[in-house]
Amino acid sequence: MSAAEDFDDMLGGQTVVVYARTGYSSYGVPAHSASGSTYKCRWVEKRGTVRDSQGAEQPQRGILWVMSTAAFSPDVKITLPDGTVAPILSVDSYPDELGRYHHSKLAMGYA
């Protein structure tokens, strides 16, 4: 069994919806697409602190493991499995034993 198959088995049926940023409002607030993409995921509530893309420490609400080769960035809108929306603080991607990327680890903050 490959690492991707092992990871898929670990997910446990949770999904997340990701909405791409389409632009900014006249006030500088990000605008997002009306329809999102659904991905298999694993949501784990894990409190802590993490450095965001500007290097500032932010409170972490949890970790989101997403089964996808898509590139995630802090400007997308994510609806978690529990229906809440949380900002992305950091994104890490790891290759499997064959060097392929099939999932990402996202540190999620508080809305």
Residue 104's contacts (CB-CB under 8 Å, 6 or more residues apart) are 65, 66, 68, 70, 72, 91, 92, 93
- CA 101/CA 79 separation, integer angstroms: 23
Q: The domain 3-108 is classified under which CATH number: 1.10.3470, 2.40.10, 3.90.1460, 3.40.50?
A: 2.40.10
Could you tell me the residue ranges of all domains in the chain? Answer: 3-108
According to the model, what pLDDT value does residue 61 have? 97
Query: pLDDT tens digits, the chain, 111 residues: what are they?
Result: 555 566 566 667 899 999 999 999 999 888 999 999 999 999 999 999 998 778 899 999 999 999 888 888 888 999 999 999 999 999 998 787 888 888 899 999 998
